[in-house]
Amino acid sequence: MKRLKHPLGHHGKGFALLTVMIFILVILIAGVSFFAMTSYETKSALYRQKSSEAFLLADGAIERARAKFLEDRSWRTGWVDEPAGRGSYDLTVTDTTFGGHSNVVQLLATGDVLDAQRRIEVMAEVPPSIYGLSMLIMGDADVGGNFCLNGDAHVNGDPDFGPHDSHLACDYSYTSGFIITPPPIYTDPGHFPDATYYNVRAAKDGSKYYARIFTGDGTEITSSCGDSCQSVISYNSGQKTFTYDFDNNATITAYFDDATGVFKRNAGDVGVVVNFGEVPIVDPPGILGVTSLIFDGNSSTTIHATIIGARFTGVTESDRIDYNYWIGAVVEVSQVIFEPYYGIAMIAYDVDKNGSALVQIGTTTWPALLYVTRDIDRINSNFALVGSLVCLRDLVTTGGPDVTYNGGFIPNLPGYLEEEWPGGVSGTLKILNWREIAALAN
């Protein structure tokens, strides 16, 4: 019997082997490619993570610099190899100009995480100290209408300036989300050494209430003042509140005229301080008694005195910037101009503005500090402040106020406050340009 031969003979086995070898080679190439791709993707993902961390470090350095400028506008130190997370950051500060703006610094931040680097350049205007904080709100700010803010502001709590800050207007910037504390305020005569100081304390004679007036050293001068406020004082027993109602221009002039008023300035003194906020003499209400003030004049009514309507009940210096340690009642203002010679228009517990007539606190001639130990409520249109505003709790406006920073009040402050006032050294950053730039060459 003849054996049949395969048509290809022994060559068929060679083709089969070649096919297998090609298949194995394809598998090997695919496998190597897959593992190479996987390794590349893994390395890319790891690098992207490091790059993101480096960017956050650079951005964090910029934010930290903003906080430093709030403390001291002259700060230029920067940081070198500052450790953070898995890497470090550098920041340099260089004085420059930009787009016609002076007082500009270039902030150049570099974040490094292992072999990844990201860099950010910011051009920022650092207003001179005369353009410090126009407004410092320790609590929340609720602005219900247009608010013309000229200068820089800070809100420790929640800043609600409308959708996308639509209620803010004029030349403003603001910061929030971290704590800034104002210098503590004092109301005792020892902290006003160059002032004619009047301590006005409510008293009672039979069924009639009146005020006894004392100097800073405790000497009673009611008789020599020629008036005991009997025509302007009233008492609400339910609220334990004495109200002094200076409700027209003639009355305000009679009491506060700098040369002829009941609370006139003595020769040689810088200014006048009238403290209505201390404990009344009559008991009840005794230590529970508080004072409300009403000022309602006309378009020319001017007060040069510093008005005090709040009382400190705490002990420590830190208590002084906590609204829980102050008591008082509202100060209602309508149609009056405050031009304080001593730099402070009011130290008030609560401030309300009534009516649509103009209230002017501070002017370009006599800028003013308004220091409120609790809340500012219902400030509306035709309320203008030139100087600076400090509020230990919340600000609520219904639209229309105008706040313009003017550091001219600082040299007029009492010595202790002028030395501690942050407007003399602090600043803020107004971002003019922000961009990411190329990393440094290795």
pLDDT band for position 428 (cuts 50, 70, 90): low
The backbone region for 218, taken as left when phi is positive above 0, alpha when psi lies in -120 to 50, beta otherwise, is left
pLDDT tens for each residue of 80-119? 999 998 999 999 999 999 988 777 999 999 999 999 999 9
Q: Higher pLDDT residue, 192 or 356? A: 192
pLDDT band for position 257 (cuts 50, 70, 90): very high
Separation of alpha carbons 366 and 339, rounded Å: 5
Mean pLDDT confidence for 41-67: 88
pLDDT tens for each residue of 319-366? 999 999 999 999 999 999 999 999 999 999 999 998 888 999 999 999
Q: Across-strand partners of 136?
A: 154, 390
Q: Across-strand partners of 302?
A: 337
Residue 423, pLDDT score: 47
Indicate if the pLDDT at residue 391 is higher than 70. yes
Q: Across-strand partners of 395?
A: 141, 376
Indicate if the pLDDT at residue 4 is higher than 70. no
pLDDT band for position 137 (cuts 50, 70, 90): very high
Residue 100, pLDDT score: 80
Indicate if the pLDDT at residue 274 is higher than 60. yes
Q: Across-strand partners of 176?
A: 155
3-state SS record for the chain: CCCCCCCCCCHHHHHHHHHHHHHHHHHHHHHHHHHHHHHHHHHHHHHHHHHHHHHHHHHHHHHHHHHHHHHCCCCCCCEEEEEECCEEEEEEEEEEEECCEEEEEEEEEEEEECCEEEEEEEEEECCCHHHCEEEEECCCEEECCCEEEEEEEEECCCEECCHHHCCEECCEEEEECCCCCCCCCCCCHHHCCCEEEEEEEEEEECCEEEEEEEECCCCECHHHHCCCCCCCEEEECCCCEEEEEECCHHHHHHHHCCCCCCCCCCCCCCEEEEECCCCCCCCCCHHHCEEEEEEECCCCCEECCEEECEEECCCCCHHHHCHHHEEECEEEEECEEECCCCCEEEEEEEEEECCCCCEEECCCCCCEEEEEEEEEEEECCCEEEEEEEEECCCEEECCCCEEEECHHHHHHCCHHHHHHCHHHCCCCCEEEEEEEECCCCC
Indicate if the pLDDT at residue 10 is higher than 60. no
Mean pLDDT confidence for 425-442: 78
Q: Which of 288, 300, 280, 296 is nearest to 333 (CA)?
A: 296
Separation of alpha carbons 155 and 392, rounded Å: 10
Find the farthest-apart pair of alpha carbons in the chain and give their distance in angstroms, rounded. 154
Q: Higher pLDDT residue, 2 or 144? A: 144
Separation of alpha carbons 262 and 18, rounded Å: 118
Q: Higher pLDDT residue, 371 or 75? A: 371
Q: Of 182-196, 197-211, 405-419, which range is least confident?
A: 405-419
Q: What integer best gives the mean pLDDT of the chain? A: 89
Which residue type sits at 260?
T
**284: cis peptide before it, omega within 30°?**
yes
Mean pLDDT confidence for 292-319: 97
Separation of alpha carbons 300 and 414, rounded Å: 27
Residue 300, pLDDT score: 95
Mean pLDDT confidence for 49-76: 88
Residue 420, pLDDT score: 72
Please give the backbone phi and psi of residue 246, each rounded to the nearest 5 degrees, phi first. Answer: -95, 85
Mean pLDDT confidence for 233-261: 97
pLDDT tens for each residue of 308-320? 999 999 999 999 9
Mean pLDDT confidence for 111-131: 82
What are the residue boundaries of the structural domains of the chain, listed by start?
52-126, 131-424
Q: At 438, list the tokens.
A: 């190329």
pLDDT band for position 130 (cuts 50, 70, 90): very low
Residue 427, pLDDT score: 54
Q: Which of 313, 385, 396 is nearest to 345 (CA)?
A: 385
Which residue type sits at 121?
E
**285: cis peptide before it, omega within 30°?**
yes
pLDDT band for position 132 (cuts 50, 70, 90): low
Q: Which of 426, 405, 424, 406 is nearest to 415 (CA)?
A: 424
Contact status, residue 183 vs residue 417, Cβ threshold 8 Å = yes
pLDDT band for position 215 (cuts 50, 70, 90): very high
pLDDT band for position 131 (cuts 50, 70, 90): very low
pTM for this one? 0.71
